[in-house]
Amino acid sequence: MALIEVDDVVKSFPSRHGSLAIMNGITFQVADNDFLAIVGPSGCGKSTLLRLLQGLDRPTSGEIRFRGQPVGRVQSEMAMVFQSFALYPWLTVKQNVALGIEARGWSPDRIEAQVERYISVTGLVGFEEAYPRELSGGMRQRVGLARALAVEPAVLLMDEPFSSLDPLTAESLREEVLQLWQDPALPPEAVLLVTHNIEEALSMADRIIVLSHRPSRVLAGVIVNLPRPRDRKSEAFYELTDYVYSLITEGGPPATTPSGQGARSGPPAATGGPGAAPGPSK
């Protein structure tokens, strides 16, 4: 059984024009030990999808299952890392990291030990008593990561976690996240990385789900069978990047009509895989 099953999920939101269709039947699975990236254009519902997975919102139709059980309420086995870091400015690093585990009824000593462990794992030793405003963007995101890992989640959900960092900081944090991921002593079992950055997805994930423009559907599942560490300058990397770009640019229509009406005719056909690049995995 897959760890997560997303089964024909449709999502729409009420809008001035009636309803705005965001997802048009999304289906994919996440296995144990999967590092899955979800890529798609802005507004195609990536953040919404993570909220649905975590049980913070419900699909309009379709179903999401976690370990075979329908996701009905907020999932304590999933934790999220946000683009905006989402730290409390009035709390110290330590207090921010403790936030996710405080409701668990643990002894203060146990909470303290857990917080220290994940502060150490994420390279924050020495910054325990600092406030977010005293930290660089990269350090703030380490706090976001430590807070998520401290709950020892089965699934780590990452919503554009590197998008607001400068390129060098983003690159080193990506490498560190991969190292944490590859450490068998550390959670999580699966990572879902949402990004609009195709190179980022290809440099990190085992598999990529490519979403179309809104209302989104899965254009392809692409297996990234490139050796690690990924060489962004390799021919194979370029080919796969081109392939995913072409899926998004040729495989989907523009997001909305100028009037903002969401109505449209049937879904466009996905492009076939080019000879040189691997085709869709499913």
- Site residues, ligand ADP (CB under 6 A): 13, 22, 40, 42-48
Residue 163 binding Mg ion, by CB under 5 A: no
Beta bridge partners of 30: 4
Distance CA 38, CA 137 (A): 23
**Binding site partner of 161, from Mg ion, ligand ADP, none, Cβ cut-off 5-8 A by kind:** none
The CA-atom distances, in angstroms, between 135 and each of 63, 143, 166 are 40, 10, 14
The secondary structure of 208-240 as a DSSP string is EEEE-SSSB-EEEEEE---PSSP-TTSHHHHHH
Total of chain residues touching Mg ion, rule CB under 5 A:
2
Our finding on whether 169 is near Mg ion (CB under 5 A) is: no
By CB under 5 A, what part of segment 25-54 binds Mg ion? 46-47
Compare residues 119 and 244 and give the one whose CB is closer to ligand ADP.
Answer: 244
Is the alpha carbon torsion for 94, 97, 103, 104 positive or negative?
A: negative
Q: What's the angle, vertex CA 93, arms to CA 90 and CA 98, rounded to 5?
A: 95
Residue with tokens 């699934």: 155
Q: What is the residue type of 245? A: Y
| Least Cβ distance, residue 102 to Mg ion (angstroms) | 27
Q: How far is the CB of 245 from ligand ADP (least distance, A)?
A: 17
Q: Which does 88 bind (CB under 5 to 8 A by kind): Mg ion, ligand ADP, none?
A: none
Residue 197 binds Mg ion (CB under 5 A): no
Find which of Mg ion, ligand ADP, none residue 48 binds, CB within 5 to 8 Å per kind: ligand ADP
Shortest spacing between CB 137 and Mg ion, in angstroms: 18
Half-sphere exposure of 68 (CA within 13 A, CB side): 1
- Please report how close the Cβ of residue 4 comes to ligand ADP at its closest, in angstroms: 18
C-beta of 84: minimal distance to Mg ion in Å? 10
Beta pairing, strands 4-15 & 18-30: antiparallel
Q: Which is nearer to ligand ADP, 13 or 88 (CB)?
A: 13
CB of 258 to ligand ADP, least distance (A): 15
Chain contacts with Mg ion (rule: CB under 5 A): 46-47
